[in-house]
Amino acid sequence: MLALELQKYGVTVNAIAPVAKTRMTEDLPMFQGAGEELDPKHIAPIVIYLASDLSQEYTGRIFGVQGKKLFIYKMTVSDGMETPGSIWTPQEIAKNIKTILGE
């Protein structure tokens, strides 16, 4: 992860995952009927924040922006399972996929 590698140099690395209605996205079904609430102007403040010294203590984060809502994406890890053999086969994965997924 780039955030870990660059941390020793004092460089922060974050990402932005915006959802906005633009000319490129306006024809997608999820944007039909969306108006001002998904305007791209809502994305600029987090970009400015992350480019400023105000965010210097945060690195390795994925900031989501959807209209007025700002949030963090987090990864979860299931309990999974170890392969019954020496290396997974596609068939073993298919057989155990629900356990691997934590379902």
Is residue 14 a part of any domain in this protein? yes
- Count structural domains, the chain: 1
63 neighbors 16 (Cβ within 8 angstroms): yes
pLDDT tens by residue, the chain, 103 residues: 789 888 888 899 999 999 887 888 777 777 777 777 888 889 999 999 999 999 999 999 999 999 899 999 999 999 999 998 899 999 999 999 999 999 9
Is residue 45 a part of any domain in this protein? yes
In degrees and rounded to multiples of 5, residue 10 shows phi and psi of 80, 20
Is residue 87 a part of any domain in this protein? no
Is residue 71 a part of any domain in this protein? yes
Is residue 95 a part of any domain in this protein? no
Is residue 32 a part of any domain in this protein? yes
Predicted TM-score of the model (pTM): 0.73
What residue numbers bound the domain in which 62 lies? 2-77
Is residue 22 a part of any domain in this protein? yes
